């Protein structure tokens, strides 16, 4: 794996997703870790400011390596922040809290917005 990390060129530089044919699934499941490692893998370590020095020694000894322990801590503390639905909900919660904290005012505001949308279905300057 260390050899692939230093020498192997990536096959598809544009793809961030894995694309494969379902008919080749058995071939895919029999691949080893070194099949997924290339020079581009070092970008992962650089992005999270983690050392990749632990890759050269035997994987049996990784647990005792400081760089591995630090990288493991960084990875375990990663949170999923890319989910569009979660971001949308958080944005709406923040927006609602900025406008008003009173639930009655919030309900009134929603009714006013709904009423205006029914009167002005198009949002162009011309229709207003």
Residue range 31-53: mean pLDDT, rounded: 83
Q: pLDDT tens for residues 106-123?
A: 889 889 989 988 888 877
Say if residue 59's pLDDT is above 70. Answer: yes
Asked if residue 52 lies in contact with residue 42, where contact means CB atoms within 8 angstroms, the answer is yes
Retrieve residue 92's tokens.
Answer: 């709406």
Highest mean pLDDT among 24-28, 66-70, 81-85: 66-70
What is the model's pTM? 0.44
Neighbours of 55 (CB within 10 A): 21
């Amino acid at each position: 794996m260390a050899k692939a990390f230093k020498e192997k060129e990536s096959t598809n530089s544009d793809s961030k997703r894995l694309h494969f044919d379902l008919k080749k699934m058995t071939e895919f499941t029999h691949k080893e870790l070194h099949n997924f490692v290339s020079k581009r893998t070092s970008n992962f370590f650089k992005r999270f400011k983690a050392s990749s020095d632990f890759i050269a020694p035997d994987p049996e000894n990784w647990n005792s390596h400081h760089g591995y322990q630090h990288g493991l801590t960084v990875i375990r503390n990663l949170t999923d922040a890319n989910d569009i639905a979660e971001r949308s909900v958080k944005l709406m919660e923040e927006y609602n809290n900025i406008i008003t904290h009173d639930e009655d005012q919030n309900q009134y505001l929603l009714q006013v917005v709904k009423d205006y949308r029914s009167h002005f279905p198009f949002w162009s300057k011309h229709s207003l």
